[in-house]
């Protein structure tokens, strides 16, 4: 995925009010940027960090910037959860996710379950439909070599609901996939943060028992592109 250009470089002052971040740009101007991430952002919201913002395409939008990236250690991390589905869709279109190849049609935000929308619906007339739920992953509690990336970074009742609905898809004979997208490249192992949300961990274990598949892929993140690269090992409940 190509990011809006040019991104504006600055320093994070604070993330507050859940969907807002205060940033000092290199021009010394302080701005309030939209924070497109509803989680706690644990490990990716440290004041003083380098960040990158995209300018709003709509000149009438109240907040003129959107927070896109943060530097954590030597790695860039994509914090914009709204980009996750597009990143995965682009990877599917170029065959970068081998486990999901072979489908002839891809649709986004299709209604299913109990008043939900599946992120990606993959179809081929010769095989069952494949329902793909995408979760953006940014949490990495330590920068030590071999440390894990984890999901979720906060309690997510919505995420638990999605797992229950994916399990129903699997039980009726269609394919259901839980895709964890690591918008960072500095870890080769993914795990569930059961201490943060034990109900989510339990729901994932049950969903897997019901036939839901789990994939975890990481990305190469730069100030111009975010690209899915390879599958990482998943430590699952």
Domain of residue 42, CATH code? 2.40.50.580
Residue 127, CA distances (Å) to 114, 173, 198 in order: 24, 11, 35
Say if 1 falls within a structural domain. Answer: no
Return the CATH number at 107. Answer: 3.40.1350.60
> Domain containing 152: what range?
81-235
Q: Are 169 and 148 found together in one domain?
A: yes
Q: Are 32 and 93 found together in one domain?
A: no
Q: Whole-prediction pTM value?
A: 0.96
Q: Are 73 and 106 found together in one domain?
A: no
> Distance between CA 71 and CA 73 in Å, rounded?
6
Domain end position, chosen among 50, 78, 106:
78
Q: Are 17 and 123 found together in one domain?
A: no
In a structure prediction context, what are the per-residue pLDDT tens digits for the chain, which is 237 residues long?
999 989 999 999 999 988 999 999 999 999 999 999 999 999 999 999 999 999 998 888 999 999 999 999 999 999 999 999 999 999 999 999 999 999 999 999 999 988 889 999 999 999 999 999 999 999 999 999 889 999 999 999 999 999 999 999 999 999 999 999 999 999 999 999 999 999 999 999 999 999 999 999 999 999 999 999 999 999 998
């Amino acid at each position: 995925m190509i990011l809006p250009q040019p991104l504006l470089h600055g320093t994070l002052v604070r993330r507050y009010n859940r969907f807002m971040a205060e940033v000092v740009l290199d021009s010394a101007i302080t701005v309030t940027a939209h924070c497109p991430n509803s989680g706690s952002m644990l490990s990716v919201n440290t004041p003083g960090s380098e960040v990158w913002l995209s300018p709003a395409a709509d000149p009438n939008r109240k907040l003129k910037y959107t927070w896109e990236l943060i530097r954590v250690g030597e790695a860039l991390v994509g914090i914009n959860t709204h980009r996750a589905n597009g990143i995965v869709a682009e990877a599917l279109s170029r065959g970068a996710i081998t486990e999901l190849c072979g489908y002839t049609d891809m649709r986004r935000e299709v209604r299913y379950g109990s008043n939900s929308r599946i992120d990606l619906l993959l179809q081929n007339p010769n095989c069952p439909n494949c329902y793909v739920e995408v979760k953006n992953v940014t949490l990495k509690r330590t920068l030590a070599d071999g440390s894990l990336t984890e999901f979720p970074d906060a309690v997510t009742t919505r995420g638990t609901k999605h797992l229950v609905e994916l399990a129903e898809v699997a039980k009726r004979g269609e394919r259901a996939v839980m895709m964890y997208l690591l918008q960072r490249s500095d870890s080769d192992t993914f795990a569930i943060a059961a201490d943060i949300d034990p109900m989510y961990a339990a729901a994932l274990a049950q969903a897997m028992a019901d036939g839901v598949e789990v994939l975890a892929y990481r990305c190469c993140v730069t100030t111009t592109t975010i690209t899915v690269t390879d599958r990482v090992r998943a430590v699952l409940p």
